[in-house]
Chain A
Amino acid sequence: MINHISELYGRQIKLSDLSEELQHHPDIHVRPALAKIAGRWVCTRCQAKLKPTLAGLPSGQFYCYECIQMGRMDTLQGLATVDEPNRFAAVKHPMSWRGHLTALQAACAQQIVEVFKDHRRHLLWAVTGAGKTEMLFPTIEWAIRHGLRIGIASPRVDVCIELFPRIQAAFDGVSSVLLHGKSEAPYQYCQITVCTTHQLLRFYHAFDVMVIDEVDVFPFSGNPMLHTAVSNAIKPSGGLLYLTATPDRSLLRAVKSGYLSVGYLPIRYHGHLLPEVTIIKLPKIAAQIKESRLPGQVMTMIGRLVAAKQRFLLFVPTIQDLQRVGAAISREKIRCRYETVFSADPKRLEKVAAMRSRSLDFLITTTILERGVTFPGIDVLVLKADDRIFSSAALVQIAGRVGRNSERPGGQVLLYCSTRSSSVKACDRQIKQMNQKARQLS
């Protein structure tokens, strides 16, 4: 239940979620949740054009099935909004971060500030581990000084959860809030909002500065609803920055057509090159995993890493493979502590936290941990790297988990596969190309 008017600033919220008193507040605009446009029901919140056969209810009402996970929009509902007033306390020295940007990072960071000064849309193509978050700090500082509202969103909840405390620590006198479907914390009007792209469906013309991190990833990539959510959440006068290490085709097309400007950062913050991948061909690996067995070479590697206390992530293509590989490892009786993780795993966040606190030797995971999450000093192993689940972008991201910190800038990326698939080859090539660019810069 929403009780305070500030919770509606720059938002679009179901009228029935508002307290009785607030529903009659003079500053509230109410739009119908579904509107009939050219004879067709369109959802006001997510802009989906609804199919009458799917949207119709026996009562004669209609509802939006596209954005229903954020609460149902239907023909009985209204959508309440209050104009964004940018009502933030002035902060003299907003940035508490005392770190330094490298010369290359600083140049990129300055580019980003300019993007927002000019209200533009921009793509920053930076390698994994480039220090993207820190490069946002000058922009955030500038925005806060100017009383602007900042939204940082990612399609992945893990990315948001990792990002939020770093932003909070860097701007500790500034109000900030983290929003995602799994959080119980109540919404608060803040100058900085970190949230999943789904949560943006609840915002309307709110943000002057909008950043979308890991933009190429599911569920954002190829999802028109979430793209609508982003454009609705930005003020008409706001600017937009996309961040990624692996832009997909639609982003590159947007760059080509001039819809987005683009900047590159091919080198990691610590100045070391990306670890290149080792491709290991094991012709029978898929069949062996299907029988809950692992090739001897893989098992030996796992045993060796555990014995050396070298922590790692073990990627597999499917949830079924998690169990199979887990069973194979338990049978081997290697003394080790591990967990399996997949996207719908109810204990996912706890398991990731356990890995981070070093109470686990490794995680067996699906591609859900391919990005956003950083465990210092790890290696990665990918089983069935030629499976179609692993796109070249996914493999580049997975490889990007390694060598993130300056104390261990190297590390192993082992791709086990029966054939060199086009994605495996493309991953190998992209990493080498980025390293080539980096060498030219330094």
Chain B
Amino acid sequence: MNCLLCNGQVDQGLTLSQILSFQALTTDSVCSACRRQFSPLNRVKTCRLCGRKLLAAMPDPCLDCEKWRRGFPYPFASRSLYEYNDAMREFMKRYKFMGDYRLRAVFSPILKAELRTTHRLIVPIPVHESTMATRGFNQVTGLLESLKLCECLATREQQKTGRQSAKNRLTRVLAEQPFKLKPDTQAQITAKPVVLVDDVYTTGTTIRHAAGLLMAAGAASVVGLTLAR
């Protein structure tokens, strides 16, 4: 078999489990040289609220998360599996922006292993309809293929009101809710614990929009999981 990323030979016998000390899986879809370019966050110190790698001088939770704690009305913590480094940026470019759907296999076994034992409802962040039409897939659900998902979120058209008001940045950002609950899905999440899944945690705004919406709709608790941070 050839490596999905570099097309080189995948070294036989070297399984994901050996590299990542997860349970035994099939042969990796990526060669070990490509795999090594990704930087897992499970072996470094990370912010307990947003999952970013903490450098020596940084407090835990990090300053960004302190700000969120003051401005975001619900308890929320998210973690990520990998650093958003050059290799991950390149991966996202090829998977998401160039649209090579096959590349989901680079990380789907890892994300799925991560979620296999969760008791939470797995809610993927949705993509816009127009993206779905041109790209042909949602990059998040691609990574979660064959897991039982609760796809209760949809994107909604952005509303341009309230921008000029004197609200602080955080309230304003949160007011521009990009998501909505799909009709008749509220019952599915009421009193349920939820894990929201996204591909990349950048500023944390997107995933908090979704988390806020789910909490307001009655979810018992919401945590986040992203592939990259």
Q: Contact residues of A with B, CB < 8 Å?
A: 54, 57-59, 61, 63, 65, 68-69, 71-72, 74, 76, 219, 319, 344
Are B102 and A65 interface neighbours, CB within 8 A?
yes
Known: A319-B33, A344-B6. A57 touches B98 (CB 8 A): no
Q: Does B80 contact A (CB under 8 A)?
A: no
Known: A58-B138, A344-B6. A68 touches B133 (CB 8 A): no
Q: Does B100 contact A (CB under 8 A)?
A: yes
Q: Does B101 contact A (CB under 8 A)?
A: yes
Q: Does B218 contact A (CB under 8 A)?
A: no
Q: Tell me the minimal C-beta distance from B86 to chain A in angstroms.
A: 8
**A344 CA to B5 CA in the complex, in Å?**
12
Q: Per a CB cutoff under 8 Å, which of A58, A65, A76 touches B134?
A: A76
Query: Which of chain B's residues 120-144 have a Cβ closer than 8 Å to chain A?
Result: 132-138, 141-142
Q: Per a CB cutoff under 8 Å, which of A57, A68, A71, A219 touches B137?
A: A57
Point out the residues of chain A lying under 8 angstroms from B132, CB to CB.
59
Q: Does B204 contact A (CB under 8 A)?
A: no
Are A59 and B6 interface neighbours, CB within 8 A?
no
- In the complex formed, the residue of A with least CB distance to B145 is A58
In this complex, the member of B33, B132, B135, B142 whose beta carbon has the largest number of chain A beta carbons within 10 angstroms is: B135
Q: Tell me the minimal C-beta distance from B95 to chain A in angstroms.
A: 11
Point out the residues of chain A lying under 8 angstroms from B138, CB to CB.
58
Are B133 and A72 interface neighbours, CB within 8 A?
no
Known: A57-B136, A58-B142, A63-B136. A72 touches B100 (CB 8 A): yes
Q: Tell me the minimal C-beta distance from A56 to chain B in angstroms.
A: 8
In this complex, the member of B134, B136, B141, B142 whose beta carbon has the largest number of chain A beta carbons within 10 angstroms is: B136
* Size class of the B contact interface (CB-based, 8 Å): 10 to 19
Q: Per a CB cutoff under 8 Å, which of A54, A68, A319 touches B98?
A: A68
Known: A57-B137, A58-B136, A58-B137. A68 touches B33 (CB 8 A): no
Point out the residues of chain B lying under 8 angstroms from A68, CB to CB.
94, 98-100
Point out the residues of chain B lying under 8 angstroms from A65, CB to CB.
100-102
- In the complex formed, the residue of B with least CB distance to A59 is B136
User: Could you write out 13 A-B pairs with CB less than 8 Å apart?
Assistant: A54-B102, A57-B137, A59-B135, A63-B99, A68-B99, A68-B100, A71-B98, A72-B99, A72-B100, A74-B136, A76-B136, A219-B7, A344-B6
Are A72 and B98 interface neighbours, CB within 8 A?
yes
Point out the residues of chain A lying under 8 angstroms from B134, CB to CB.
76
Point out the residues of chain A lying under 8 angstroms from B102, CB to CB.
54, 65
Known: A57-B137, A58-B138. A63 touches B6 (CB 8 A): no
**A441 CA to B97 CA in the complex, in Å?**
57
Q: Tell me the minimal C-beta distance from A82 to chain B in angstroms.
A: 25
Point out the residues of chain B lying under 8 angstroms from A76, CB to CB.
133-134, 136
Are A61 and B33 interface neighbours, CB within 8 A?
no
Q: Tell me the minimal C-beta distance from A194 to chain B in angstroms.
A: 24
- In the complex formed, the residue of B with least CB distance to A74 is B136
**A76 CA to B137 CA in the complex, in Å?**
13
**A68 CA to B132 CA in the complex, in Å?**
18
Query: Which of chain B's residues 33-49 have a Cβ closer than 8 Å to chain A?
Result: 33
Are B6 and A61 interface neighbours, CB within 8 A?
no
Q: Per a CB cutoff under 8 Å, which of B7, B94, B100, B141 touches A58?
A: B141
- In the complex formed, the residue of A with least CB distance to B102 is A65
Point out the residues of chain B lying under 8 angstroms from A69, CB to CB.
98
- In the complex formed, the residue of B with least CB distance to A77 is B134
Known contacts A54-B102, A58-B138, A76-B136, then 20 further A-B pairs from the complex at CB < 8 Å, ordered by chain A residue: A57-B101, A58-B136, A58-B137, A58-B142, A59-B132, A59-B133, A59-B135, A59-B136, A59-B137, A61-B136, A63-B99, A65-B100, A65-B102, A68-B94, A68-B100, A69-B98, A71-B98, A72-B99, A76-B133, A219-B7
